[in-house]
Structure 1
Amino acid sequence: MELRVLQYFLAVAREQSISAAAKSLHLSQPALSIQLKELEREVGKQLLLRGTKGSRKVILTEEGMLLRKRAEEIMRLVQITEKELSVCEEAIAGDVYIGVGESDSIRLFAQAACKLRKKYPDIHYHILSGNAAFVMEQLDRGLIDLGAVYGPIDTTIYHSIKIPIRDTWGVLMRKDSELSQKEQITPDDLWDKPLLVSAQKNGDWEMTKWFHRDIDQLNIVATYNLVFNASLMVEEGIGYALCFDKLINVSGDSNLCFRPLFPKRESEASVIWKRYQPFSKAAQKFMDALEECCTALHNE
């Protein structure tokens, strides 16, 4: 499977038209059609549904959508590799790809980047947000250099260092809500309340132990990936959002407030990266700076 043909396929998927894709690629339509049919023969699957007579639009089959996703990842890896190889021996420049969730501990990543900025201004950072499953998937595919996750780490696959910042769990709510008068929120306060929780929860959700109840016994009315979106739903009166502190500004004229849990519940993240993974010079410099920031904070 040639990279050139994958680029042709992606152009057709983007344009949803063989003729339009051929024009953008400066190819004849028959030549492009032959390449696509050869690609389908090579993978043994139909990738495109050609339009009926009078319609030039093409639609990706299920296999075509899978190939599109993989082809985009392949082309991105090619671009990353080309950039890394094009950097001269003496220069420290390039791109660092980082996968993170929503946490105040991300400030450490920003501090490490600022620490390097003056000396290495040609290092650029790309932040991809997602839960632990997303971060590990991106790492396994080689699409990011390092990531931050919560929970146990498989040390046979990943190296890791602890981030010396603990995130405090609590409840985001409206200032006029029933529970806003309390300084701390207990499990029985929430048993009958409409809750918004992170979409990454599963059967091993750490908050289950705090609630002393299974997930299906709670009144979960919505899940979220981004706490900012959850905050808007809370502000409109949908319910109470379980989240980390310091992610939403509740000061000043905000209609929201945050109350910590009791018993207190905290989580600690780890920076992880693949074992035996070669870092680019830029990524190695960033990793060194991040470790220095973690060590300095730990020694305070």
Structure 2
Amino acid sequence: MNTSCRNALLCLVCAGLLGACATKGDMETLQNQAYRDRQESRKTIQRLEEDLAKSQEALRDDIQKSTSPVQARQANTWAELEALRVQVAKQQEKLETLTMKFGALTSAQGEGPSLADTVRDVQNIKVALQSQFGLELDSAAPAPANAEAAPALADKAQAATKADSTKSKPAEQPKAEDKTNTADALFAKATTAFKAKKYEVARQYYSEFATAFPKHANTSQAVFWVGECAYNLQDYGKAVLAYQRVIEKYPKSTKYKPAVLKQGMAFFKIGQDKAGRVVLQDLIDRYPKDPESISAKKFLKEHK
């Protein structure tokens, strides 16, 4: 009996020990499973965060790519326009210098300039016009011999003037009416040459008009037609500069919008398509219903 009780007691103890061991093992299994689940969750969250970061980066790249062509086009156009402004400024400075010389030559100043000064000024102006505008004048650059002979001729002319001053009245100053007639005649001559498709001759006359009569009502038109002559002669670079002068100096001229249109087209002719497209689109945006804008739209459609 004692032996049976002892065996039963041992069995109960063993069963209790075995139950305790099973419970501890289950706990360890659960703990390990929970640890693995946490690790997987962390990895999943990290992967999702990485995917989100990549998506955000891709979105930023797409936005940058979509705007960078516009920024690049604006930068290129700005650089091109700045270069043109510099060139135009240089051309205008030279033109103003020529205008001052021409005005000093033609204006009435007391007894007027001496013959020697007149000869030198005329020859200097001819040389400047030849080099700047490619004008074909009758005489070439001043020769030293002629310059040396000029003072002698001037002395004789001045002596004759003094001798006659006691017998005759001073010469009358040129009237504004005569100057206007001269301007109109020169402009008409230029227009006749242009209609006859003598574009080089017309360009010379229009350039002479714009230089000699900077405040005339037709000066802006003369500058525009200088550009038109250059365009027809396929001298597109000078055409762009002439149109730019109209745009900057004569914004209220009737030739302003035509100058913008033709400048945009001239840009395409010299391979500056981006600049030309910007100029024409700006014209369309500002004057959508004007004939020049309609022509600009048609031109852009043909040059996509």
Give the TM-score category using the shorter length. under 0.3
* Richer in strand (by share): 1
The higher relative CO (CA closer than 8 Å, separation ≥ 6) is in 1
The TM-score with structure 2 as length reference comes to: 0.21
Larger % of helix: which?
2
TM-score (norm 1): 0.21
Q: Which has the larger radius of gyration?
A: 2
